[in-house]
Amino acid sequence: MKISNRKQKTDRKRKTAIRAALLLLLVLSLIFYRDSLANIMEGIRQVTWKELSISVLLALSGYLLEGITISCMMETVVPRIHTHGSARGYKRSGIFIAFVCEFYRLTTLGNGSGIAEIHYLTKKNIETGKATTLTMIQYVIKRTAIMLFGVFGFLFLFFGENAGNLCRDYLPFMGAGCLITALVIALFLCITLSPGLAAAALYLLDRLRLKIPSGEETFHKWGEQITLLNRSGKEILLKKKKTAGVLCLQSAKLVLFYSIPACFLFGKTALTVSECVFLMAVAFMLAGVIPAPSGAVSLEFVFLLFFGHFADYQSAVTGILLFRFATWICPAVVGGIMLAGQRGVQHFK
């Protein structure tokens, strides 16, 4: 009886500590992003309710597709019956993870979403190693969709009338962005599918550990990820129908996201809706190779650089702020509400 009471007290203390940590993360993130949030809210005032509603609907629909993507990835390693008793419950788990990860992305400056996804995947009867591999493979497929959409958008605009000159002016910059993105994806795929290349990468890390002792812990983690990726990643990627389905889901999500600036800027620029969507695809791809917390600042820079050629500065600024609000703040708020709801249900059980 005493042991049981002691365990209950320990559980209560642990849950209290988790809530306090989450609250602290939220407060710190609000302090860190206070200027960005103020700018976003100021920009939102320039948007009509119709434009705002459509943008939020597009963004949340995109994250629903992200949730379905996660559920599809889960199906590659664990039977559906082990997670939930129904297909609806299975997809609900993926959607929950997608939104909650956005909450952690915001509160940890972009560094905690992957860890959060691994954590919640392990709660669905997926061992840690496979959960890590799933997250990495999902990242590779996501980057592949971004690259394919960006390259196609660049070619579409390059041979068009309105944005052709812009593409030719920034051809070296865009080419470098495409190349870096392609190399990152190729590296992941080669390590996943080639045992020989994985062994070579591990050998290189061993040599680096000897030459740079201060980075031993980092190199050790990289080595573990390479081993996991090569052992389990091939099994996942070779399920061609699932992989193609996930790639299609990610592409559909990107169409929804890229349509947000187009909805606002249509009629305010000389660009058509399709040109706005494809120019956003190119900007998003190139922003992905510029390191910044949560992708902050890099996307704004590239967006204003490109769209500033076709719209007045104020409209371009409002367009990217609307995009940030819809795809950054809204899903994080929904994820926070979902997380709070789950904690509340657990508390009353």
Spell out the per-residue pLDDT of the chain, length 349, in tens: 445 555 555 556 555 655 555 555 555 555 545 556 666 777 777 888 899 999 999 999 999 999 999 998 888 776 544 444 445 556 788 999 999 999 888 877 666 788 888 888 888 878 887 888 888 888 889 988 998 998 899 888 888 777 888 888 877 877 777 788 788 888 888 888 888 888 888 888 888 888 887 777 777 777 887 887 777 777 777 788 888 899 999 999 999 999 999 989 888 888 889 999 999 999 998 887 765 544 557 888 889 889 988 888 888 888 998 998 999 889 998 998 888 877 655 554 5
Lookup: tokens for 245: 């389905």
**Alpha helices of the chain — where are they, by DSSP H?**
2-32, 34-44, 49-75, 80-83, 87-107, 113-122, 128-158, 164-169, 171-193, 195-211, 216-237, 240-265, 273-287, 298-307, 313-324, 330-348
Angle at 33 between CA 31 and CA 34, to 5 degrees: 65
Token pair in block for residue 281: 């695809």
First to last CA, the chain: 20
Confirm if 68 and 126 have CB atoms less than 8 A apart: no
Residue 340, CA distances (Å) to 33, 38, 70, 346 in order: 22, 25, 21, 10
String of DSSP letters for 199-245: HHHHHHHHHHHHH-GGGHHHHHHHHHHHHHHHHHHHHHHT-HHHHHH
Q: What is the pLDDT of residue 100?
A: 92
- Reduced to 3 states (helix: H, G, I; strand: E, B; else coil), residue 314 is helix
Structure tokens at 327: 């795809």
Locate 123 and state its tokens: 């709660």
Q: How many CA atoms are closer than 13 Å to the CA of 295, on its beta-carbon side?
A: 20
pLDDT of 347 reads 52
What integer pLDDT is reported at residue 84 of this predicted model? 46
Give per-residue burial for 181-201: e unless 16+ CB within 10 Å, then b. Answer: beebbeebbebbeeeebbeeb
Residue with the two structure tokens 């020989």: 196
Phi, psi for 192 (deg, rounded to 5): -70, -45
Rounded Cα distance between 130 and 73, Å, is 11
Q: Do the beta carbons of residue 95 and residue 68 sit within 8 Å?
A: yes
Residue identified by tokens 């399920």 is 239
The three-state secondary structure class of 39 is helix
The radius of gyration computed from the CA coordinates of the chain, to the nearest angstrom, equals 22
Report d(CA 323, CA 145) in Å as an integer: 19
